[in-house]
Copies of this chain bind each other. A is one copy, B any other.
Amino acid sequence: MTPSEEPAPVGTGDALPAFDRVLAAARRLHGVARTTPLLAHERLDERVGGRLLIKAEPLQHTGSFKFRGAYNALRCLRPAAVVAYSSGNHAQGVARAAKLLGIPACIVMPADAPAIKRAATEAWGAEVVAYDRYREVREEIGARIAAERGATLIRPYDDPHIVAGQGTVGLEIVRQCLARGLRPDLALFPCGGGGLVSGSALALGSCFPDISIHCVEPEGFDDTARSLRAGERLSNPPGGTSFCDALLAPIPGELTFALNRRLLAGGLAVTDAEVAEAMRFAFATLKIVVEPGGAVALAAALSGRIDLRDRTTVVVLSGGNVDPGLFAAVLAGREPAARR
């Protein structure tokens, strides 16, 4: 938040989701989503000079946190059919949620989405419609399919049910910290459209009022960081490239930005090279497969872009859906092919 701005009480006096919606989402997700581990590692702590706690959402069902919001939304809305657009993780989340609830699902995915994400979406029983990211507008395709089929569109982040569901990541972090007698000073979250960090900030900010929460984005796609500084939603400049395929949203969500401008301390940006280094660290030390977009917060921690000395910092790994060829290239230290 900007210093001149008096913070409104979180989620009161307006239509934004509040902490109680995260708690309600947690009740719906009980026994359906996994409580993912919050991992400590001495050698990581030695490296940054502080205490790090790693939230391992690649171990979530469908390989990312996105299942949480998707299931919460479908449980709340109970649609006859569902359509979603997604580069891949929201796709899988919606597909598994729809399968569990017996709802037909159609997913609009970029034709160049990682093959592992498309295959997994289809394996959960969803129909996949591919589109050209450079010539077609996914929102239009999703709206057309929704109209044609009487399906409900589930947006990837700008939806209060989605935000509340993703917020259960933050709620679990709260519970896991309290169980260890820890109060985190900082939290670093990967950020695309902003659903994960905004929902999680509702929980973390309610229980740890002094926590400093930062979103982390790829360089060239740091629209949320710049928007937080400007106090208004700004788009990414054209021509940026990054291999963090999950984090290429063009502009912060309206709903998510309204929350984030209140709840976040700021935003950081990391390079693809720093992300690749974080993926290698997670492989060698944590034994967890992390996709590029899922590794940006760890990249910010390891690259020293924020001072973590003598602090307790939560770092969220948000997903692990990465093609084996790209993962092998990263392990070999070859500069990954950037995307735009």
Give the interface of A toward B (CB within 8 A): 34, 37, 39, 41, 43, 56, 58-59, 61, 63, 116, 123, 280, 283-290, 320-321, 324-325, 327-328, 331-332
Contacts and interface: CB of A to CB of B under 8 A. Distances in A.
B39 A59 contact: yes
A19 B1 CA distance: 56
Given A37-B37, A37-B59, A59-B37, A284 B123 contact: no
Contacts of A59: 37, 39, 56, 286-288
A287 B289 contact: yes
Contact of A288 (B43, B284, B289, B327): B289
Contacts of A320: 287
Contacts of A290: 287
Contact of A58 (B123, B280, B287): B287
Please indicate which of the listed interface residues A56, A123, A286, A287 has the most CB atoms of chain B within 10 Å of its own CB. A287
Main secondary structure, interface of A, reads: helix
A146 B164 CA distance: 59
Nearest to A46: B123
A116 B34 CA distance: 30
Contacts of A41: 61
B287 A283 contact: no
B37 A283 contact: no
15 contacts: A34-B39, A37-B37, A37-B59, A41-B61, A58-B287, A63-B287, A283-B289, A284-B324, A287-B288, A287-B289, A288-B288, A324-B331, A327-B328, A328-B328, A328-B332
